[in-house]
Amino acid sequence: MGILAINGGKKTVIKNPVKSALFDEMVHQQEEYVVKLLRKREISASPVVKELEQQWAEYTKTKYCIAMNNGTATLHSAFFSVIKEPGDEIITSVHTWHLGVTPIICAGGIPVFCDIDGLTLNIDPAKIEEKITSRTKAICVTHCYGHPADMDAINTIAKKHNLVVIEDASHSHGCEYKGKKTGSLGDIGCFSLQGSKLMTGGEAGLLTTNSVDYYESSIFLGHYERFSILSSKYDRYKGNTETVPFMNAGYKYRIHPFAAAMALVELKYLDERNALQIKNCSYISNGLDKIEGFAGACVAPYVTRLGWLNFLIRFSPEYFKGIPRLKIIEALRAEGVDASPGRPGYIPLVRQAMLTDIENHPGRAIWHYFIRNHPEYRVEDFPVAEKVLFERIAISPMRDIEFDPEYLEQILDAFRKISKHKKELV
């Protein structure tokens, strides 16, 4: 194994990964599709949007789908659909992206945080019921990093208390829980198509539901151009095209046709690209389980299909006692492993100043109810989220590279080397 590269030794990973032919083929088709729309001047509205919605609804086996300009818009639409009075509460994970939570406040609600399961990093169903009050309207579930949450347990609780279940499936395109796609497991599914996601349009979102009420309320919030398809209860807002403008709730969440075209092409390759990634990541996971101080990513038995948005491996602070996580990451990078702390911002949300430091909050005008009725968020109430923050290391998801055991073994050799020579990092 030799001296660690961080201390002047030779690096372990010397082979470059080979880019998947799938990726190049997909990008070529995206280029052709976008140029075609550009030449046809379908640059603001296009039939490609409806085609994407129909195909995504069919793929997820849901009745309705609305394409939007980003994933945050889909979440805002979901919360707008279920929050009826200022102060209505939405239970959500403390370990998620802040833009999965701030739309609750923008819709007039209050986010109530719940701790997570230490292995899956998803909301812990065993801790949900203690958070339910008379004001609770929904449970929002993030399928964190592509690993589906325990939906049977969550849906059982929701049914018992007559709550809506909203899936933030922004990490989990194509992932399955007991054979069913994420986004179809609750009442409303919300997907981001931002550039880092498993399926992307550059910047876009998809909302799925089997409820015509949630479908229509989402249209009312941000899609005035679709008012003609709304039921009669929205008639007084429709106006007419000659003398009275259409009046919606004041937002414009229309997707860009170029984004829809990109996403349509990515959908064709989604399952195949996810499968390639899982083949690569499973090889690494299985190898890490045999290296002291490290362990592969957790996969719960109810998961029938994965697609890691981020591939997080576990390391043991007890084994590496006295060695900071960032030092281990630095050593891995020196060995040639694309390692990092993980997604920026995914520290427990109760640590986020946007939600806790409100004396001079820049959003006072639109968050007035939340600021006046600000709940007490305490770090000590979420011990699991605090603990796992320092027990994960992200490595490149290896989504668009060919399966190459020689290259993957070099990555594992880097972990073996660091495990064996940990004293050099003290």
Judge whether residue 216 has pLDDT over 70. yes
Helix (H) or strand (E) holding 314: strand 311-315
Give the 3-state secondary structure of residue 380. helix
User: Same structural domain for residues 256 and 301?
Assistant: no
Answer whether residue 379 is part of any domain. Answer: no
Query: Is the pLDDT assigned to residue 399 strictly greater than 90?
Result: no
Residue 171 structural domain = 23-266
Name the percent of the chain lying above pLDDT 70. 98
| Band of residue 368 on the pLDDT scale cut at 50, 70, 90 | confident
Q: Identify the pLDDT of residue 389.
A: 79
Domain boundary among 236, 266, 296: 266
pLDDT value at position 242?
Answer: 65
Asked if residue 361 is part of any domain, the answer here is no
Q: Is residue 350 part of a domain?
A: no
Q: Which of 246, 266, 286 finishes a domain?
A: 266
Residue 119 or residue 396, greater confidence:
119
Condensed to tens digits (0 to 9), the pLDDT of residues 106-146 reads: 999 999 999 999 999 999 999 999 999 999 999 999 999 99
Q: Cβ atoms within 10 A of the Cβ of 10, count?
A: 11
The set of residues, in sequence order, having a beta carbon less than 8 Å from that of 28 and lying 6+ positions away, is none
pLDDT at 331 > cutoff 80: yes
Say what the pLDDT of residue 344 is. Answer: 60
Residue 181 in domain: yes
Do 255 and 107 fall within a single domain?
Answer: yes
* Same domain? 251 vs 300: no
User: Is 261 part of a structural domain of the chain?
Assistant: yes
User: Could you tell me if 44 and 87 lie in one domain?
Assistant: yes
How far is residue 95's CA from residue 119's CA, in Å, rounded to a whole number? 13
- Is 358's pLDDT higher than 70? yes
What tens digit of pLDDT does each residue of 32-75 get?
Answer: 999 999 999 999 999 999 999 999 999 999 999 999 999 999 99
Task: State whether 173 and 219 are in the same domain.
Answer: yes
* Tokens, residue 355: 């939600």
**Which residue, 266, 295, 317, sits at the end of a domain?**
266
What is the domain count for the chain?
2
pLDDT band with cut points at 50, 70 and 90 for residue 249: confident
* 240 pLDDT tier (thresholds 50, 70, 90): low
Residue 161 is part of a domain; what is its CATH number? 3.40.640.10
Would residue 418 count as lying in a domain? yes
Contact criterion met (CB below 8 Å) for 282 and 294 = no
What pLDDT band is residue 228 in, cutting at 50, 70 and 90? confident
Element (H, E) at 385: helix 383-388
CATH number of the domain enclosing 291: 3.90.1150.10
Distance of CA 111 to the CA centre of its chain: 18
Q: Are 350 and 379 in contact (CB under 8 A)?
A: yes
pLDDT confidence tier of residue 372, bands split at 50, 70 and 90: confident
